Each structure stands twice: as C-alpha cells, then as structure tokens.
Amino acid sequence: IPVDVFDLVIFGGTGDLARRKILPGLYRRFVAGQMTSDSRIIGAARGELSDDAFRKLVAESIDEFVPKDRRDEAMITEFLSRLHYVAIDAKGEGGWDALKNMMRDGVVRAFYFSVAPALFGDIALRLKSHGVADDAARIVVEKPFGRDLATAKALNATLAQHFHETQIYRIDHYLGKETVQNLMAVRFANILFEPLWKAEYVDHVQITVAETVSVDGRGAYYDKSGAMRDMVQNHMMQLLCLIAMEPPYHFDPDAVRDEKLKVIRALDPVPQQDIVRGQYLAGGGQGGYLEHCENPASTTESYIALKVHVSNWRWKGTPFYLRTGKRLRARASEIAITFREPPHSIFDDAKGWRENVLVIRLQPDEGMNLMVMIKEPGPGGMRLMQVPLDMSFAGVLGDEAEDIPDAYERLIMDVIRGNQTLFMRGDEVEAAWAWTDPIIEGWNATGAKPQGYDAGSSGPEDALMLMHRDGRRWREIR
Ligand code: NAD
C-alpha cells in the first residue's frame, strides 16, 4: 500500500548510514510501489554538491548495497530523479531558506537526523527558526540517544523546545525487524503462548546479540561507549520489553509504549556479581580490543553478560540473561524462552528429558523455532527426543521472504504513515538510562577490569559461570 506523498530531508545524506541503509532502503520501497513517484528525497549535508553529484553518489550506494537481482536500471533512473541536494551546515544559517523554498505544502514533511547527536539541537532549532518544519512535520533521530540519564534528558528537553513528542521518532532499528514484530503477533494473536508466558511456566529467558566483527577502525569512538551503552541500554532493552510486557489494550503507539515503560521501571538494580564484562584478545591474525581502541589502559567492555530480574507479578523468579559482544564465534541474534520441565515424567527415559524452548531468531535467517519433545522414531521403545517446529520465514514464505523490508525501510515508511508504535518515547529512553547508569557507576567504582576472551570464542569464562552457578547454560552461538 503506497504511503502519502512526502518530502523527506536527510541531514547527513552523504554519510555512511544514509549510503548504506537509508537511501538503498528508500529505493527498495520505491520499487515496491510504497514510495510514490511524486515523493521527494532531499539530501542535506555540509559539502557543496549538485543534484547530479548527489544522484551519482546514491546510484553508487544502490550498486553497492542492493543485490544485483533486485536492481532495475529504469527504476533506478526514475528513483534518482526524485532526489535533490542542498548544502547546509547545521551550525550555520546558510542553505536553510533554500531548503524552506523546496518544501511543498500539503505533503508530509519528514526530517531524518542522520548526523552526530551533537548536531540534533542545532538542526531542530533551525528547522523551526527558518520555518522549514511545519507543525505536522516529523523528525527522526538516530542513536545514540544520550550517553547517560543526564545527557538523554538534556537532548529530550532540547528537542521538546521545538517539536511535540508526537513529532519525534527515535529510531531503534531492532524494533523494525520482522521477527521482533512477529514476537508481538505470536504473543498476542495466539491463545497458545500467553497463558504460559509467566514465571510459573518460564524457567528463564536468554537474549543474545553476538557479532563476529571487531571495533577496528572505529575503536576510539566505541571506547567511549562499550557494549552496555551501545547494545544493552537500547536494543536489548527493547527486546526484553517486548517479551516481558503486559498485553497492551490495543496495538497503538502509546498503549504499547506505556507497557514497555512499565517493564523498564520494574527492572531490579543489577548487583556486580551478576555482571560479566570482557574484552576480546588478539587472535586469528587480528589485533585485540586494546589495540583497536587505541588505549592500552581501556577498561571499556566489548562483551557483557548480565542477569536481570523484572520485579513484577508476572516475572518474579524468572531471570532474563542478556549477553552481547564483538569478535565472537558467529553472528547470531536470538531470544530463547525456556519453559520449565513438566512437573512429573511418566517416561523412564530421563536422559532425553529436556525443556520446551521458543527460539526467536533475529539474524541470520529471521524466524522462529519451537523445540518440542517427541518420541524417537523406530522400534527402540519409548525414547524421547527434542525436535524443532520450524517457523523460519524462508521456509513459510519462499521467495516472498526476499521482499520483507529491511528494518530501516519499514521504520521510514512508518514515519511517513505517522505511526510511532515502533519508536522509543522520550520517557522510555530516560527510564532505560536510569536503570543503566547505576550499573556502569557500580563497575567504575570497583575499578574492575574486563576479562580477556579469545577471538572467535563464545565469550569470557566467567560468563559461562554466570549460568552454571544457577544450574543453567547458554545456548550455543552458531
Ligand atoms: P558519517 O560521519 O558517515 O556522516 C555524517 C554526515 O553528517 C555526513 O553526511 C556529513 O556531511 C554530515 N555532517 C557533518 N557535520 C555536519 C554539519 N555541521 N552540518 C551538516 N551536515 C553535517 O556518520 P554516520 O555513520 O552516517 O552516522 C550518522 C548518525 O547515525 C550518527 O548519529 C550515528 O551515531 C548514527 N548511526 C550510524 C550507524 C551506521 O551504521 N553508520 C548506525 C546506527 C546509528
């Protein structure tokens, strides 16, 4: 279904994120017929560039980041003709009036802030002072949204001076992933799971975001944040919220976000003994974290595992184990909900006894698996085995799976539709920092150093212990 006609301005339109994700994504939505041909995209950045030079740059991005069999020369030409460019320095006054004159009345105006967060305030201010943004305009802001509660509050306050909360779209691209939304469908559109979705039946939850990449090339930048700020406070927190939240009364932006906020507020402080931090060591022909971050004394973590408790009626007694890191064995993101064992086994085959696990895989191969116990086929008597009920999208949808929009594509279309359900509200972000800050302050106070872990492994030894001492184990990273 096509979205309304729009003028989308991308500040930082020549930057890495715009070239890798935003512009190729918009091209795909154009091909899909969602972006109609009377909509326009305006790149805005500091450098002087003609429309044609900008189009050339975007053509190169499409070449590089859209698979060959998804490219169509005629479509690309048509798409490029929808593109314009205006040179603007966020901190100066030049270019804004030209931008204002380009804006059309009666179409959706959206402004994507794909620039360093330090510039968000400057852009918000000038969009208003030069009359570029109208009262219905939408702004899209990228992560990181602050680096602690104080900076997030300040950023929210700055944006609120110029825009109403209903105009602000804080991107967390994890929420744009197909499986993440499917998680809500599975929970709230089936009678099967929801009755079991509580501490009484769920033994524990594991959330894993494992990456194989190092921070080489952006180490100095990464070193100022670390895994807790870069992954846990935002992406993993959002996943945790979607699993733990109560059913919203309606699939409506504020109803959903109210429920997520309640989860964040119910999170217990995490004691230091429930936290493991790590730094990858040199290996596999690559340097270690300390070399990559260009600070041999760095205590920033490239890996973190933590045990988290949601203190409410539904979840009391069910831990949520979170782990994420760089340079691990495989690139894999998943949520695993492990159910408790049946109260009594009528079978003698204790060896084969295992729990039901619902695995929601975000990458690679988005999809879901429900591990169930069945009888091992054959004449060997009543022996049990665990098999997956596979709900992978590639399997169910065949070729259509290829057309599932990437997270950025979907989220940008949601901005144009004016649907904030999959965007973080200001109070959610602040609550997440309010939980995160004391955790970081806690380890800073002890001066504890992260534990080294081998590149290509599944993380530090102590992270294994975090589970073992509770009689549980991490799922293998594959
Ligand atoms: P980048 O450095 O590649 O690009 C920055 C862009 O901003 C360029 O187009 C540059 O011309 C423009 N710019 C810089 N100073 C300006 C000024 N004073 N006025 C106007 N334009 C100016 O950065 P990026 O990697 O594209 O990241 C952009 C934002 O997206 C950042 O907030 C970043 O944290 C966030 N982000 C990036 C990624 C990614 O994969 N690159 C992922 C998630 C979030």
Per-residue pLDDT of 348-366, as tens digits, reads 766 656 789 999 999 887 8
- Here the ipTM equals 0.98
User: 216: closest CA among 295, 288, 323, 144?
Assistant: 288
Per-residue pLDDT of 188-199, as tens digits, reads 999 999 999 999
Query: Which residue numbers in the chain have pLDDT < 70?
Result: 349-353, 393-403
Find the residues whose C-beta lies inside 6 A of ligand 1. 11-18, 45-47, 88-91, 114-117, 119, 142-144
Helix (H) or strand (E) holding 361: strand 357-363
What token pair was written down for 182?
A: 């499917």
Residue 235 annotated in active site: yes
> Own/partner pairs for 338-347, CB < 8 Å, 24+ apart?
338/202, 338/203, 338/204, 338/205, 338/206, 338/472, 339/196, 339/201, 339/202, 339/203, 340/200, 340/201, 340/202, 340/203, 341/203, 347/382, 347/384
pTM, full prediction: 0.95
What token pair was written down for 416?
A: 């144009």
Mutate to test the pocket of ligand 1, among 11, 115, 119, 122 (most ligand atoms within 8 A of CB): 115
Q: What type of residue is 99?
A: L
Tell me how far the alpha carbon of residue 16 lies from the centroid of ligand 1, in angstroms.
Answer: 7
Q: What type of residue is 47?
A: G
Q: Give residue 419's pLDDT.
A: 96
Q: Give residue 347's pLDDT.
A: 84
Which listed residue (235, 250, 292, 468) is catalytic? 235
Q: Give residue 399's pLDDT.
A: 63
Q: Is the dihedral of CA 309, 312, 316, 320 positive or negative?
A: negative
Q: Give residue 390's pLDDT.
A: 86
Q: Is the dihedral of CA 181, 304, 113, 32 positive or negative?
A: negative
Asked whether the beta carbons of 168 and 455 are under 8 A apart, the reply is no
What token pair was written down for 103?
A: 């804006």
